[in-house]
Structure 1
């Protein structure tokens, strides 16, 4: 072999060797990261078992390949801005027409809910329209991943991961503000996680496959798990509360609004206060009431 051939051979060997080395290093780091993500829920799992959940079930759930630390979705949760949402799209003529078709398709369930709870079916429909586009979009985030990740932020290491994952050019809060919000949300999310696990156990659902909003709200009604126990209703009388079923979601919304003071003939001012409990946004509430008026018209 001449010197030039030998040189080319050495270069090819070096390139291949470097490529193999890169692959090995990448695999090593991937393994470390995977192990870290597996371990990141260890304290959370112990808390859940201490609070009465069966250890075997908790181990099985968190061993699922579908359960993971949700960096992206939870970071988006801290960046969420209600005022930027385009609620006005739901008051357009084509949207109102779709809502009227929905009312015809689900007339029986809506009429039954109005009779039982005294809540206007137009308001129920307006909420379903805004929350999930009449049940056609109920969210694509893993509820257990969202709530488990937020719950894990009670610890410093998971909290730091989320902080570092916030885009620098869009970060709108100081570290002090972030820490304060993280404290609040970690405690809140843990309560929601326990309610979610209790609900899915009661209804024999697989918690690892349920999708919802970036905040963990789920179903056609977009209930947080803690609201399902007191307000979830079996609207189709099949013996289960499944908020991905229209009749159940309709009855559950009606039960929720009645609990907060909705009654037949309610004034606009009182109606505003009741719907505000569903979503603490004046923009949201005004949109719901505007849609309801259009549906009655």
Structure 2
């Protein structure tokens, strides 16, 4: 059975399309025509083979705002220049903003805590770290990021992409080849989930903003997690992670499904948060913010 994708309305157009097209060697005309450019050809065929309707796939990748997102995807293959400073989230200013969020959404958070058993302070801490309480959600296109990653399953595109990475910052070729195939397959799975989510919700896949990694909304969920754990927190029949009620409920559902229990010990809580983001620094930051909010 072919999946039917509904494509609607104009979206934000990336002005980097022409420049990236020139870097990858397919010229300004092809870049301006979006996905008709060569890097997405194999990707389109794979999507059709996996059950997506050919006409819908062609329409999506012919749009000028759908293009190779080299700038964002490159971050996966460059040496990191800095680590996130989690201390910024426990400053008096950050805690004050989080307290204001708790007050503004008190009824929603109380209802969610009652339903899912996840403390409001923990949910708020995650929103603070993930998206500055919904104010910073990324300015890239989820479709472009995940399409570019998915296209990197093609060995020829892998080689082209490696050549455009800044030589002084890119990882070694050996590490790149080890990493790119795994990352590309991951990106392709997330792309399929994004398209299914967009179809289910009746939204334009090209209109969904995301981080450089393709994470979406106030909760910064990857598309597979939206499908698996996204919750309709306000009862409108939709899952929209740019809506506070849905984002709050989705975070709580994710943690509960990963072992969070009311009154659980610290180890159980740490494991649930670690599933959300596998970083011990992240886990400690979330618990530290939540503790300050409780006090």
TM over 0.5, shorter chain: yes
Which residue, out of 247, 250, 253, partners 1:249? 247
**2:232 counterpart (228, 234, 237):** 234
- Aligned match of 1:181: 179
User: Who is 2:7 aligned against?
Assistant: none
Shift of 1:236: 0.6
* Contact 1:37–1:69, Cα closer than 8 Å, also in 2: no
Structure 2 residue 120 is matched with structure 1 residue 121: yes
How far apart, in 1, do the equivalents of 2:129 and 2:185 lie? 28
**Is 2:66 aligned against 1:67?**
yes
Give the Å deviation of 1:33. 5.9
State the Cα distance separating 1:89 from its structure 2 match: 0.6
CA distances 1:202-256 after superposition (whole Å, capped 9, x unpaired): 1011111211111100000000000111210000101100010000000000000
Q: Which residue of 2 aligns with 1:296?
A: 294
TM-score, normalization by structure 2: 0.87
CA distance in 1 between partners of 2:77 and 2:87 (Å): 24
Which 5+ residue runs of structure 2 have no aligned equivalent? 1-25
Q: Quote the Cα distance in structure 2 between the aligned partners of 1:33 and 1:192.
A: 24
Larger radius of gyration: 1
Give, in whole Å, the separation in 2 of the partners of 1:122 and 1:200.
31
**1:271 maps to which residue?**
269
Q: How many residues align?
A: 269
Structure 1 segment 1-297 matched on structure 2, within 5 A: 29-31=27-29, 38-79=37-78, 81=80, 84-171=83-170, 173-297=171-295
Question: How far apart are the structure 2 equivalents of 1:69 and 1:147?
Answer: 10
CA RMSD of superposed structures (Å): 1.8
4+ aligned runs moved over 4 Å, structure 1: 32-37, 80-83
Q: Which has the higher helix share?
A: 1
- Structure 1 residue 83: Cα displacement: 6.8
Tell me how far 1:162 sits from its aligned partner: 2.2
Distance apart, 1:80 and its partner CA: 6.7
Structure 1 residues not aligned, in runs of 5+? 1-27
- How far, CA to CA, are the matches of 1:73 and 1:136 in structure 2? 20
CA distance in structure 2 between the aligned counterparts of 1:60 and 1:255, rounded to whole angstroms: 35
